[in-house]
């Protein structure tokens, strides 16, 4: 067997794995990266990028229809073939060859195949055994979780991979799960003509965010996109029939679709990576618990970053954690301070939901003396030109004791870019009296910040 020694082995070439490999290579380390599918990971080909490519056309169409003088009628519809072709371009037709020069330039050796531990610091891939003299970083990501629903394994289902790469628009679809993935993909396919039924057991969509955010998204999905959103609805069982699949609901009734998209959570890729060979056991959900330096079980040479550690399942978190690991390995000690529930999170529906830090409920749970400061998202002069009349609410959660922001939630047309200012204010713990001096350019929608700060300054209602 072919054995090669590296300073570090990275298992998985998604965004987290690529970033840590690149940073270590830039620091002079000899690095091997192991990938069983496509370099770029789930994000580039099967999740973030294709889903955003599918969602964006409806945003643009909606905006064009709101602006007098743009020759787009109320009955204009998207061209599904063109949208899918553009999506294919965005994901480079599931071809990762464009990523390879970057690895080569960094002197990173790519091993294609499924890697698994065969001992401490030893990873087997194909007929090669890779030996890490300093560190192994597990960045194997996650796949769609399948819930234990009666009959689910007897019908054809879609996961995020199917739903982001499908070549034709289904006539109808049932979506299980109203989190960010279920909500986004429901909207994307409905905008292309699919008749969607979205089923969620919770009282609101986007259960982790402020309840008003889920309510606004549900109203838009029902209204503009014609989606049948069924909340507080649990699935009894699933069977083949009708247009393809019939979902029987608890308490009676059924939903039917040509396709059934299951979007009820994620399952980390920890099952087949040989963890038993290094004496590591994942938690009950299969995730690898890490400390604030991303070390597994406090071991100095073993790290887990990205979705696989379950801290916050976003690409930006994986990249942040990759930076933390590389900094530590390169001798510049740094620990995560901006992680977990409070991480920035955006649901790219129309309206978008952009949030960071604590919701009101989480702030109160944490014993914070919380004040809510709220303004309409479309109330600034800039919103006369962009997102006119689209409503939405911008909310800051302020700690009354310190007069700093501990949470922010923006709903409305394209609010994602409002978020970074809130993230900076939270991470830097900027007092609002100081933030009041951050001038927002006129007439931009960033003046939502001016409106929020004026509201805060005016005192409690
Ligand atoms: C529909 C959808 C939309 C999303 N949109 C967004 C978004 O807009 N913004 C955002 O921040 N996040 C989004 N996410 C989440 C995002 O996709 C993940 O957080 C991100 O991909 C995690 O990166 P990662 O590097 O940890 O893992 P992954 O991207 O999953 O990459 C892990 C890689 O490891 C490889 N691998 C696994 N096991 C092995 C093995 N044994 N040997 C070798 N290789 C292996 C896999 O093939 C994969 O390429 C979305 C998720 C979904 C499902």
- pLDDT tens digits, 368-383: 999 999 999 999 999 9
Measured in whole angstroms, the distance separating CA 368 from the mean position of its chain's CA atoms is: 27
The verdict on the CB of residue 161 being under 6 Å from ligand 1 is no
- C-alpha to C-alpha distance for 372 and 359, rounded to whole angstroms: 10
| pLDDT digit string, tens, across residues 143-191 | 999 999 999 999 999 999 999 999 999 999 999 999 999 999 999 999 9
pLDDT-derived band at 339, boundaries 50, 70, 90: confident
Query: Do 134 and 7 meet the contact criterion of CB atoms below 8 Å apart?
Result: yes
The verdict on the CB of residue 51 being under 6 Å from ligand 1 is yes
- C-alpha to C-alpha distance for 63 and 413, rounded to whole angstroms: 9
Q: Atom 19, ligand 1: which residue's CA is nearest?
A: 314
Strand partners for 282: none
Helical (H) or strand (E) element with 318: helix 315-329
Rama region for 252: left / alpha / beta (φ>0; ψ in -120 to 50; rest): left
Q: Return the pLDDT at 1.
A: 63
| pLDDT digit string, tens, across residues 203-227 | 999 999 999 999 999 999 999 999 9
Question: What are the residues whose beta carbons fall under 8 Å from the beta carbon of 424, sequence distance 6 or more?
Answer: 430
Q: Quick check: pTM over 0.85?
A: yes
What CA–CA distances, in Å, run from 145 to 114, 166, 180, 189, 407? Answer: 20, 19, 15, 21, 29
Question: Both tokens of residue 288?
Answer: 């690898």
Measured in whole angstroms, the distance separating CA 340 from the mean position of its chain's CA atoms is: 13
- C-alpha to C-alpha distance for 108 and 100, rounded to whole angstroms: 10
Whether the pLDDT of residue 291 is over 80: the answer is yes
Whether the pLDDT of residue 314 is over 70: the answer is yes
Q: Return the pLDDT at 2.
A: 84
Beta strands 115-119 and 195-199 are unpaired
- C-alpha to C-alpha distance for 289 and 298, rounded to whole angstroms: 10
pLDDT-derived band at 342, boundaries 50, 70, 90: confident
Query: Among all chains, which residue has been given the structure tokens 């830039």?
Result: 26
User: Mutual orientation of helices 48-66 and 80-90 as an angle, nearest 10°?
Assistant: 140
pLDDT-derived band at 113, boundaries 50, 70, 90: very high
Percentage of residues of the chain with pLDDT beyond 90:
96
Q: Return the pLDDT at 26.
A: 98
Query: Do 445 and 380 meet the contact criterion of CB atoms below 8 Å apart?
Result: yes
Whole-number mean pLDDT of the chain?
A: 96
Question: Both tokens of residue 364?
Answer: 């109160």
In 160-244, alpha helices (H): 160-165, 180-191, 211-223
The verdict on the CB of residue 16 being under 6 Å from ligand 1 is yes
Percentage of residues of the chain with pLDDT beyond 70:
99
- C-alpha to C-alpha distance for 407 and 398, rounded to whole angstroms: 7
| pLDDT digit string, tens, across residues 1-57 | 689 999 999 999 999 999 999 999 999 999 999 999 999 999 999 999 999 999 999
- C-alpha to C-alpha distance for 306 and 314, rounded to whole angstroms: 7
Query: Distance from the CA of 35 to the center of ligand 1, in angstroms?
Result: 12
pLDDT-derived band at 453, boundaries 50, 70, 90: very high
The verdict on the CB of residue 115 being under 6 Å from ligand 1 is yes
The verdict on the CB of residue 111 being under 6 Å from ligand 1 is no
Q: Return the pLDDT at 341.
A: 63
């Amino acid at each position: 067997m072919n054995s090669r020694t590296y300073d570090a082995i990275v298992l998985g070439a998604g965004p987290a794995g690529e970033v840590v490999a690149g940073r270590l290579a830039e620091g002079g380390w000899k690095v091997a990266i192991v990938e069983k599918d496509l370099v770029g990971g789930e994000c580039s080909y099967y999740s973030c990028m294709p889903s955003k490519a599918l969602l964006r056309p409806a945003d643009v169409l909606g905006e064009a229809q709101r602006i007098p003088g743009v020759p787009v009628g109320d009955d204009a519809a998207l061209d599904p073939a063109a949208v899918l072709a553009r999506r294919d371009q965005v994901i480079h037709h599931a071809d990762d060859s464009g990523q390879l020069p970057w690895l080569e330039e960094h002197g990173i050796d790519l091993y294609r195949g499924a890697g698994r531990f065969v001992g401490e610091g030893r990873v087997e891939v194909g007929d090669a055994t890779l030996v890490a003299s300093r560190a192994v970083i597990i960045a194997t990501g996650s796949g769609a979780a399948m819930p234990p629903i009666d009959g689910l394994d007897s019908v054809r289902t879609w996961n995020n991979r199917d739903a982001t790469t499908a070549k034709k628009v289904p006539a109808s679809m049932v979506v299980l799960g109203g989190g960010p993935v279920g909500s986004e993909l429901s909207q994307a396919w409905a905008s292309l003509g699919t008749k969607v039924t979205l089923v969620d057991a919770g009282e609101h969509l986007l259960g982790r965010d402020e309840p008003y955010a889920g309510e606004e998204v549900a109203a838009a999905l029902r209204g503009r996109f014609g989606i049948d959103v069924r909340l507080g609805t649990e699935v009894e069982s699933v069977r083949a029939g009708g247009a393809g699949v019939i979902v029987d609901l608890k308490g009676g009734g059924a939903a039917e679709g040509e396709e059934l998209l299951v979007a009820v959570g994620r399952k980390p890729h920890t099952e087949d990576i040989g963890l038993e060979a290094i004496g590591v056991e994942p938690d009950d959900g299969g995730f690898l618990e890490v400390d604030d330096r991303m070390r597994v079980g406090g071991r100095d040479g073993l790290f887990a970053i990205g979705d696989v550690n379950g801290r916050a399942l976003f690409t930006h978190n994986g990249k942040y954690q990759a930076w933390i690991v590389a900094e530590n390995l390169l001798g510049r000690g740094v620990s995560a301070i901006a992680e977990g529930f409070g991480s920035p999170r955006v649901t790219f529906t129309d309206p978008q939901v952009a949030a960071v830090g604590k919701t009101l409920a989480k702030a109160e749970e944490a014993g914070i003396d919380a004040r809510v400061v709220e303004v309409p998202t479309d109330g600034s002069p800039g919103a006369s030109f962009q997102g006119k009349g689209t409503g939405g609410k911008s909310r800051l959660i302020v700690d009354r004791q310190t007069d700093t922001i501990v949470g922010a939630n923006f709903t409305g047309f394209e609010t994602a870019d409002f978020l970074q200012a809130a993230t900076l204010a939270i991470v830097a713990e900027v007092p609002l009296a100081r933030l009041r001096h951050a001038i927002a350019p006129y007439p931009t929608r960033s003046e939502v910040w001016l409106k929020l700060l004026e509201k805060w300054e005016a005192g409690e209602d």
